[in-house]
Amino acid sequence: MSDGQPTDVLCIGHAIVDRLAHVDEPTIAAAGVEPGAMTLVDGPRIATIAALVGDWLQAAGGSAANTAAGLASLGGRPAFVGSVGRDSLGIGYGLDLEAVGVRCELGRGAADVDTGQCLVLVTSDSRRTMATSLGAGVVIDVEAVERAGVGTAAVLYLEGYLLDSPGTYAARERAVELAKSAGTLVALSLSDPFLVERYGELLNALVDDEVDLLFANEEEAQRLTGAPDLASTLDALARPGLTAAVTLGAQGAVLLRGGERAWIEAHPVARVDDTTGAGDLFAAGVLHGIVRGASLETAGRLGALAAGEVISHLGAQPLVSLRTLASGAGLVEPW
């Protein structure tokens, strides 16, 4: 992405190499991690689990990076800020994202800290079991944020997972400061229901004071608001100045802005193979629409289309051009 055009969405998050594989239940048991959940492990444990599988699909990942890749596939101009190790995975990480159209501003960790990895074990029922080592991704340099050009982007997109890494706090705060001073919109993904449990008070303060665009699934949104049901949750998110997108799984999603609401059907797919990255790609579609001034309904349909493509195969990056799919659906102009 060296065409000199401004960045539309600048994404900041943990830089993690995703390694995905279809496995059977005995492999999950041998891995010794909680089935259907994400377990944080150290580097040696990652290596032990990785040895259980002979054939991995590997890609530059992490939640915000997945969103950036989706934006690029839609024809956007995304950038990503994170940190990698001084190892072969770290070198390949930036090259992989640049290859799909994402401009990268990557910090480098200490010489003895490896690039983060996430092993995603997918069983025949599409259930994901993840073992994650954050590695160098737990620290993001303020200097990398400043080099990235936050103030020239239309939207700053932050993954909620950053709250679990104190080494990213200064970078996140500097990014928001630069965004607010430049009139750049601030978008936040809540990332995980348990993260909302841990940081509910802080997240509510951030949503009230800093966030213009909020992304959440139904459970995350309900835990954030403390509301007893979906209707009450949506009412609680109808805050002045806030646009919220809440995914509802197979029931689609709802986008709201003030008194306006758009209910979006899930994009039809022949088969759900792997749900890794579904929320990340939904966010990509919505952001792409909002940056271009689309209606809430069109933005939501772009999100549903992007999520539908990524759940139809293994891996969290699109395998076909989302721009082509969106053009065929009448959601964007042809190339």
Q: What is the dihedral of CA 26, 312, 73, 14, to 10 degrees?
A: -30
Higher-pLDDT residue of 36 and 1 is 36
pLDDT of residue 335: 59
Residue 108 has pLDDT above 70, yes or no: yes
Q: What is the pLDDT of residue 4?
A: 58
- Domain 9-13+62-94+102-107+139-328 CATH class label: alpha beta
pLDDT, one tens digit per residue, over 30-41 is: 999 999 888 889
Give me the mean pLDDT over the 265-292 stretch.
94
pLDDT of 1 > 50? The answer is no
Strands, E, within 195-327: which ranges? 213-217, 243-247, 253-257, 260-264
Q: pLDDT, tens digit, for every residue of 57-84?
A: 999 999 999 999 999 999 999 999 999 9
Please tell me the predicted confidence (pLDDT) of residue 334: 74
Which uninterrupted H or E stretch holds 88?
helix 88-99
Residue 211 has pLDDT above 80, yes or no: yes
Q: What is the pLDDT at residue 2? A: 40
* Residues whose CB is less than 8 angstroms from the CB of residue 307 and which lie 6 or more positions away in sequence, other chains included: 247, 266, 267, 278, 279, 281, 282, 285
Distances (CA, A) of 104 to 88, 98, 99, 173: 17, 7, 11, 19
At residue 18, what are phi and psi to the nearest 5 degrees? -85, 135
Tokens of 89: 């995975």
Average pLDDT value for residue range 226-248: 96
Distance of alpha carbon 307 from alpha carbon 305, whole angstroms: 6
pLDDT of residue 284: 98
Write down the domain spans for the chain. Answer: 9-13+62-94+102-107+139-328
- Predicted TM-score (pTM) of the model is 0.94
End-to-end CA distance of the chain: 17
Residues 6+ apart with CB under 8 A from 14: 62, 63, 64, 82, 116, 134, 137, 138, 159, 161, 162, 165, 168
Segment 126-151 shows an average pLDDT of 93
Is the predicted pLDDT of residue 177 greater than 80, yes or no?
yes
Asked whether residue 132 carries a pLDDT value surpassing 50, the answer given is yes
Mean pLDDT value across the chain: 94
258 pLDDT tier (thresholds 50, 70, 90) = confident
Contact 5, 77 (CB under 8 A): yes
